[in-house]
Structure 1
Amino acid sequence: MTSDQTSADALRAQARAAASARRYAEAEALFRQAVEAEPGSWGAWHDQGAFLRMVGRSAEAEQSLRQALELSSGDPRSRHALGMAVLSQGRYVEGWPLVDARHEVPQFGLTKAKLPYPEWKGEDVAGRKFLIYPEQGFGDVIQYVRLAPWLKARGADVTLFTHPLMTRLMAGSLGVRVIEAAGNVEFPIPDYWVMSGSLVGRCGLSLEEIPNAPYLTAPAGAPTTGGGIGVVTRGRPEHPNDANRSLPPDAAARLMALPGARSLHPDDTQAADFADTAALIAPLDLVISVDTAVAHLAAAMGKPTWILLPAFMTDWRWMQGRADSPWYPSARLFRQPGLDSGWNPVLDAVEVALAG
């Protein structure tokens, strides 16, 4: 190992520590110094690009990650990170094939299903039996299952595997065959199968072509009137960005103090599954949520949904600088205005919007 490599590795370690401690300006300077110390290191370029994407500078991140990709001869970590940067800029046709590299990165834990049938790469689906295999978080699954009825409309005989907590919701909403993926299950032998997170890319859809009419519904008999505001102040603690996306206690208390506010968190509602939560959402006037699965659910039902977004590690799907979402026309995005701004400006904006 050369002295330049040793220096670059030390700088990268210091930069990652600074970023974890939310010393973002210091982290950026250290990542830059690491690249300058060893400009031939794919790791230095990758780390700089990954950081720039996390702080919302996706165009700059893309430049660094392309350099990393060239130096690494296609390392899957850099392919995936580049795909995320490209998707966050709205270039879906280019970004989705890169994001498929997620299955090649063991640290992500996103192992691709091993099925003895052809994996779908975008072939004509008319008259074909088609299996969708779920992956990633509940919010991701909700976001992507809109394409099950889209494929059915193009002649596919669609089977959707689901998590037990989602089975009733999906079976009552999508108009396709839904099978709970638990234990040994029987299902029609498919002509093709695909991971749910690859659906958009394999369908060949651009950002402007995403089907975005409401596609999830509450169970039959759920109340449809009553009003009020459903609130979600936190997501799963295991989520890698939960420290940034979930509200601290004081901000959560402020949101819950809004007139008509009621918690939609399953711990508070005792909802047994997502269908139960959909039934609670149906009569509400509005849902206000951090970036978690209930936000996806409410927006997929067409409910007015205000989503509170952190400035650090904003998810790619919400893009940059927009108050709307091409995925969910009923959604409105409230963003932290800066990396060190905290949640008070977001809650100020929510209160102003409610007063208006």
Structure 2
Amino acid sequence: MDVDEALRLAVERHRAGDLAAAEAGYRAVLAAGEPPGALRNLAVLLEATERTDEARSLYGRWAARVPESAAVCQTLGNFHRFTGELEAAERAYRRALELDPGLRQVQADLGLVLLAQGRYAEGWPLYEQRPRRLRTAARRLSFPEWMGEPLAGKRLFVWSEQGYGDQIMMARFVRQLGAAHVTLTCAPGLARLFAQLPAEIVPLADEVQASAHDYWVLPMSIPAKLELQAATIPGAPYLAARPRTGGGIGVMARGNPTYAWDRSRSPPPAIQAELLALPGAISLEPADTGAADFQDTAELVAGLDLVITSDTSVAHLAGALGRPTWLLLSDHGLDWRWMRDRTDTPWYPSLRLYRQPRAGDWAAVVAAVRSDLAQFTNGVPQD
């Protein structure tokens, strides 16, 4: 076998998305030896398909065969963060920064690991090093970034970033800022919902014309500027909607399939079908409800007795509305804000968290949901 050519072909299939052919190619190469590239690439493939035990072994063999470097430590940190091994991820990221202190993405990822452990004082400043903050188009504005200065009498421009759920989560801070005027940009689908906030709402287009303000800020930076701690998170509800429905259980079983970690976040189709078959369940998918934007969905959610959802923007919406919500969480690829080993969250008091007991075990999550639903009569919780 020409090992180099076989590895090249396997990489080619990997990049083309033919994972079965790529895996077979990598395994054939490894049967003839242990080229570091084949070890790493097969580990990446196995991680992406949630075969993490073998991926962990391969990453270890790969790291043992290459000189220690910041890139190696970063890769190991990313793997351990995905699998929820937060202490191991922290060690790997800190070692990467010892070897190369200027790695902004590693600093931001270390920040997320610390936030997931509730270590907010350490985590927020590190998360401020995220490259997307440093490259944001808001830097082209004529006024400076807000760095935490007093805002009394000032005009603040909040430039949108990240997904729907992040924008809903950070909207809570509009009332906490103390500015004379807040301009809040947002995804167009959130504009009607956010109209109730004490801010000028600007749907984000390709080009936003900003009038004179004193400062700009990204919403995910506000906690750092406020030096936020778990005990000082503004509570919920902080949004409201006129109920359009009269009871029932709303189900949002899957998230955005284009999200990088959606394979872990969203249950497989069979589990989604089980959730939608629960007594009294109605789908909250916009394609099923006819909702044109989040205001429409908020009016539906506001009248429900319960929302059951995977880790999607609907969880944030229901939590922001203060509606009873059961959030179904994967063991892998867990978002930092849900932390570990908790059934509640300081971000949304009305949420109850249901976690996989082991990676991939959605059946146990559904079983726990079914058991707790037995305490409901016609969707209404009993004392």
- Asked whether the two chains share a fold, i.e. TM above 0.5, the reply is yes
Q: Is the 8 A contact 2:165 2:313 kept in 1?
A: yes
Find the counterpart in structure 1 of residue 227 from structure 2. Answer: 204
Find the counterpart in structure 2 of residue 145 from structure 1. Answer: 171
Which amino acid in 1 is paired with 2:228? Answer: L
**Structure 1 segments unaligned to the other structure (5+ residues):** 1-5
Find the counterpart in structure 1 of residue 369 from structure 2. Answer: 350
Which amino acid in 1 is paired with 2:82? Answer: M
Q: Is 1:324 equivalent to 2:344 in the alignment?
A: yes
Partner Cα separation in structure 2 for residue 199 and residue 301 of structure 1:
21
Find the counterpart in structure 1 of residue 70 from structure 2. Answer: 42
Which amino acid in 2 is paired with 1:181? Answer: L
Q: Secondary structure at the match of 1:146?
A: helix
Q: Is the 8 A contact 1:92 1:207 kept in 2?
A: yes
Q: Is the 8 A contact 1:53 1:85 kept in 2?
A: yes
Q: Secondary structure at the match of 2:282?
A: strand
Deviation string, structure 1 residues 7-46 (Cα, Å, up to 9, x no partner):
5544322321221232211111222233333453111111
Deviation string, structure 1 residues 167-207 (Cα, Å, up to 9, x no partner):
110012x2222122236655541101101111111111112
Partner Cα separation in structure 2 for residue 105 and residue 148 of structure 1:
19
Shift of residue 280, structure 1, vs aligned partner: 0.5
Shift of residue 283, structure 1, vs aligned partner: 0.9
1:168 is aligned, of 162, 170, 192, to 192
Q: Is the 8 A contact 2:244 2:300 kept in 1?
A: no
Find the counterpart in structure 1 of residue 302 from structure 2. Answer: 282
2:61 is aligned, of 33, 36, 61, to 33
Partner Cα separation in structure 1 for residue 243 and residue 53 of structure 2:
50
Find the counterpart in structure 1 of residue 238 from structure 2. Answer: 215
Partner Cα separation in structure 1 for residue 49 and residue 270 of structure 2:
21
Q: Is 1:119 equivalent to 2:139 in the alignment?
A: no
Find the counterpart in structure 2 of residue 88 from structure 1. Answer: 116
Which amino acid in 2 is paired with 1:84? Answer: L
Q: Is the 8 A contact 2:252 2:308 kept in 1?
A: yes
Cα distance 1:160–1:13, how it changes in 2: closer, same or farther (>3 A)? same
Q: Is 1:336 equivalent to 2:356 in the alignment?
A: yes
Q: Is 1:249 equivalent to 2:269 in the alignment?
A: yes
Find the counterpart in structure 2 of residue 263 from structure 1. Answer: 283
Cα distance 1:231–1:104, how it changes in 2: closer, same or farther (>3 A)? closer
Q: Is the 8 A contact 1:325 1:331 kept in 2?
A: yes
TM norm structure 1: 0.90
Find the counterpart in structure 1 of residue 203 from structure 2. Answer: 180
Bigger CA radius of gyration: 2
Cα distance 1:99–1:64, how it changes in 2: closer, same or farther (>3 A)? same
2:103 is aligned, of 75, 84, 90, to 75
Cα distance 1:104–1:271, how it changes in 2: closer, same or farther (>3 A)? closer
Which amino acid in 1 is paired with 2:182? Answer: V
| Number of matched pairs | 341
Give the ranges of 4+ consecutive aligned residues of structure 1 lying more than 6 Å apart after TM superposition.
none
Deviation string, structure 1 residues 264-285 (Cα, Å, up to 9, x no partner):
1111111011000001011110
Partner Cα separation in structure 1 for residue 187 and residue 124 of structure 2:
24
1:58 is aligned, of 53, 61, 86, to 86
Q: Secondary structure at the match of 1:33?
A: helix
Q: Is 1:314 equivalent to 2:334 in the alignment?
A: yes
Identity of aligned residues (%): 46
Partner Cα separation in structure 2 for residue 171 and residue 313 of structure 1:
33
Which amino acid in 2 is paired with 1:230? Answer: G
